[in-house]
Structure 1
C-alpha cells in the first residue's frame, strides 16, 4: 500500500514540476533530455544482469527500445507542454483516458474480446473526450492550446500499446534492463535533437538541476509503479490509480494553480473517471 501511495504522489508531483518549470524559467527540452540520462543511470544501477550485454541485441524486444525510446521522448515533451498550456486537470485526463487506444489495439492484434462493461466504458470515454476538450467559442487561445492534450492522448496511447506489446515478448522479465535501454535511447535522441536545434538555449545549472529532479521523479515513479503491480491485481490497481491521479491532479490544479474548468469540463472529467474504471476493472 505504501508503494502505491508513493507512486501516486510522485506521479502527480511530475505534473507539478512541469507547471513550475514555466514559473522558474526552466527550458523544457534541456530538462527532459538530461532527465533521461539520470533515469537511465538509476535503472542500470539496480539491473539484474542475468543476460550478458553481448546477448541483449539478440532479444526479441531489443528493436522496440528504439521505437519506445523515441516515443517516450516525444510524449514527455508533449506532457510538459500540455501541463503548462491547459493545466494539470485536463492533462491528467488526456494521459489516462488514452487507455482506450491499447484496448483497441488488443482487439486488432491479439483478438481479445470485450465484455459489455468495457464496451460501455469505451462509449463513455468517447463522450468524456468530447466534453473535456470541447473548445469554447470565446477563448481562441485556449481552444488552440487543446492540441497539446489531444496530442498527448494519442502519443500516450501509442506508448501504452507498445509497452503492452513488448510484454508479449518477455521484455518485462527484466524491466529495469529494458527501461534502462529505453531511457538511454530517449536521452540519445533528445541530445541529438538539442545539438541540431538552431537558436538553442545554452545549458545552465538551473536546467541541469531541474533535469536531476525530473529524472529521479520519473525513475522513482516507474519503479514504484512496477512494484505496485506485483502487490495488487491489475484490475484493482489501474482503476484506483487512474481515478486518484485524475482527482488529485484536478484538485491541485484548481486550488493551487488556479486552473479554470467549465462545468462541461468537470462533467467530462467525472465521466472519464467512470470510463477508465469500467475499461480497466472489468478487463
Structure 2
C-alpha cells in the first residue's frame, strides 16, 4: 500500500511542476528530455549498488524498454499536437481515460476478479476522470480530421501502462526493478535527443539553461513515479486492474485539489461531481481489494 501512495504522490508532484513550467516559461519538450536523463541517473545512483549498464542488452526486458522509451516521447508529442488542435481538456480526457486499457488487460489476461462493487467502481472512476478533466461548460469539440490524435494519445498512454505491467510480471526480477526503471528513462532520453538534434539542424532549437533546471526538478519525482508504480504492481494483495484504477483516480483527485489550493483554479459544477464520483469509486474499488 505504501508504494501505491508514494506513486500517487510522485505523479501529483509532477503535475505541480508542469504548472510551474508555464509560470516560468520553461520549454516543456526540452525539460522533459533532460528529465529522462536525470531520472535515469537517480535510479543508477540511489537504487542500484555498483550499476553495470553493460548487462542491460542481455536482459529479457531490453526490447521492451526500448519500445517504452520511444512511446514516452511519442505520446508526449501527440499530446502536444492534440492540445494545439483540440484543446487541453481533450488531451486530459484522452490520457486519463486510457486507464481502461490496463484495467481490461488485467481482467481478461490475468483473470482478475470482476465483482459487482469493483466493476461499478471502475465505471464510476472513468466518469470521474472525464468530468474532472473538462474545464469548460462546453462539450469537447473535436473536428473529425483531428480525431486521430486524441485516439493515439488514448491508446499510447494505455499501452505504456499495460506494457509496464506485462514486463514487470513476466521479465523483471526483484533485483532489476531499479535498473529496469532507469533503462526506460535512458532510452526515452536518447529518443528525445534525436528530436533536439533535428531541431538544431533546422535552426528551430532555442536552448536555455532554465530548461535544464526544469528537467532536473522534474526528473526526480518522475523516476519515483515509475519505480513506486512497478513496486506497487509487485504487491500480491493488489490486482493490477484495482491498482491502476486507484492510482489514476487518486492522482486526478489530488491534482485537482492542489490546483485549487496552490494555483487558485476554479472548478465548474461537473468538476465537483467528478471529484465526488472519484471518492466513491476509490472506496468501492479499495473495498473490493480487501
- The answer to whether the 8 Å contact 1:18/1:80 transfers is no
Unaligned runs of 5+ in 2: none
Report matched runs for 1:8-47 at 5 Å.
8-45=8-45, 46-47=47-48
RMSD across aligned C-alpha pairs, in angstroms? 4.1
Post-superposition Cα deviations, 1:11-44, rounded to whole Å, max 9, x if no partner, equal 3221111011112110011100011111112212
Give the Å deviation of 1:111: 4.2
Match of 1:216 in 2: 220
Give the Å deviation of 1:9: 4.3
CA distance in 2 between counterparts of 1:103 and 1:232 reads 16
Q: 1:189 aligns with which of 188, 191, 194?
A: 191
CA distance in 2 between counterparts of 1:227 and 1:130 reads 27
Give the Å deviation of 1:245: 3.2
Give the Å deviation of 1:163: 0.8
Post-superposition Cα deviations, 1:88-118, rounded to whole Å, max 9, x if no partner, equal xx95x87665432212123443344522223
Report matched runs for 1:1-283 at 5 Å.
8-45=8-45, 46-48=47-49, 55-75=55-75, 86=88, 91=92, 98-132=98-132, 154-173=155-174, 174-197=176-199, 198-224=202-228, 233-234=237-238, 244-279=250-285, 281-282=287-288
Give the Å deviation of 1:243: 5.6
Q: In structure 2, the residue corresponding to 1:114 is in which secondary structure?
A: coil
Q: In structure 2, the residue corresponding to 1:260 is in which secondary structure?
A: coil
CA distance in 1 between counterparts of 2:261 and 2:236 reads 31
Post-superposition Cα deviations, 1:215-236, rounded to whole Å, max 9, x if no partner, equal 1221244445556778995479
Post-superposition Cα deviations, 1:140-175, rounded to whole Å, max 9, x if no partner, equal xx856xx89886654332221111111222315211
Unaligned runs of 5+ in 1: none
- The answer to whether the 8 Å contact 2:99/2:248 transfers is no
- The answer to whether the 8 Å contact 2:36/2:189 transfers is yes
Give the Å deviation of 1:269: 3.1
Give the Å deviation of 1:81: 9.1
The two structures have a TM-score, normalised by structure 2, of 0.74
CA distance in 2 between counterparts of 1:3 and 1:137 reads 36
Q: How many residues align?
A: 277
